[in-house]
Amino acid sequence: MPLSPEPRRWMLVAALVCGAAAVVAGAELREQTSRAYAEYEGHARQAFIDRVTAAVPWGSATSETAASADAALRSGRVLAGPGGGDGIMNVPGGLVHHWRAALFLADVTLDHVVRVSRSYADYPTIFGPIVAARLLTQDGDSFRVQLRMRESAAGMSATLDVWSSIRYVRVDARHAYSVSRSDEIREVKDAGRPTEGLLPEGRDSGYLWRAGAFTRFVEDDGGVLMEMETVGLSRPFPRMLGWLIEPIARRIGRRSAETSVAEFRRAVLARQ
């Protein structure tokens, strides 16, 4: 049976990207790329904290009005969009990916939602890309965790070990937020095989070099509003194919943000 145009186009894109990746299989994180990301992430994190402490509603950070966003969230919709620019921004030697998503968790309390968020050992049963998780240390509301993630998008795939530091802040009885930043990301070569090993940091496929997440929770009448931002750094798109890959990568980035918060909602409701 012949393929429809859409699956055919996706297969063509995957073949082109994989062919390009075979030519430029490795990538190296440069100091100027790392600095550019650190500057962007720092501004994004501070802007998030400013919004949280000022109790700025979701709609004020998007094209939605506050009233229409609140109505959409309470109806069960997931709202998602770029966290900055159009979601993917060029920096010297790399790409910054910044996405935001929000939803309303009906008939739950803030304490329950935060408790699920901090249950890191359960993450492999909550989030699809996470295949293993370990809580390394806890000091009050500060955590250090290790996650193994298996990702595939836009013709590239990778297994990554990610070490992250997370800090939770309980603003008051109704407001809380968390800030997560990767301490180290290592790509796993031959994952699950006897020859498994970690590639040198910043010298790998360039799928993900840096990552951060900012999440806030607001208890309101009838439930909890959750808003999550993710920021990441990757290698640039292969030359000559960026025009083809970029719009697909944007759709994937937005969908990934939507999926992550939807997966979390299912976990929160299942653990009531």
What is residue 178's predicted lDDT score, i.e. its pLDDT? 97
- Looking at the structure of the chain, the number of domains it has is 1
Q: By the 8 A CB rule, do 159 and 153 touch?
A: no
Higher pLDDT, 241 or 54: 54
Query: Residue 81 above 70 pLDDT?
Result: yes
Query: Residue 20 above 80 pLDDT?
Result: no
pLDDT band at 64 (very low <50, low <70, confident <90, very high): low
φ, ψ of residue 239 in degrees (nearest 5): -60, 150
What is residue 203's predicted lDDT score, i.e. its pLDDT? 93
237: Cβ contacts below 8 Å, ≥ 6 apart: 95, 245, 246, 249
What is residue 5's predicted lDDT score, i.e. its pLDDT? 40
CA 183 to chain centre: 15
Query: How many whole angstroms separate alpha carbon 147 and alpha carbon 213?
Result: 14
Query: Residue 10 above 50 pLDDT?
Result: no
Based on its alpha-carbon atoms, the radius of gyration of the chain, rounded to whole angstroms, reads 19
SS3 178: strand
Higher pLDDT, 237 or 87: 87
What is residue 243's predicted lDDT score, i.e. its pLDDT? 60
Average pLDDT score over residue span 70-74: 89
What is residue 70's predicted lDDT score, i.e. its pLDDT? 84
Q: By the 8 A CB rule, do 71 and 59 touch?
A: no
Query: How many whole angstroms separate alpha carbon 43 and alpha carbon 36?
Result: 11
First to last CA, the chain: 46
- Closest by CA to 6, choosing from 258, 220, 251, 243, is 251
Tokens describing residue 75: 């109806």
Q: pLDDT digits over 216-252, tens only?
A: 999 988 999 999 999 999 988 877 666 667 777 788 8
Query: Residue 23 above 50 pLDDT?
Result: no
Q: Which domain holds residue 92?
A: 5-270
Q: pLDDT digits over 135-187, tens only?
A: 999 999 999 999 999 876 545 568 999 999 999 999 999 999 999 999 999 99
Q: Per mean pLDDT, which range of 16-20, 106-110, 200-204 is the poorest?
A: 16-20
Which CATH number characterizes residue 99's domain?
3.30.530.20
Higher pLDDT, 20 or 124: 124
Query: Residue 11 above 90 pLDDT?
Result: no
What is residue 179's predicted lDDT score, i.e. its pLDDT? 97
Average pLDDT score over residue span 86-93: 94
In Å, what is the CA distance from 121 to each residue of 53, 125, 134, 136, 145? Answer: 29, 9, 6, 10, 9
Helices (H) and strands (E) in the chain, counts: 6, 12
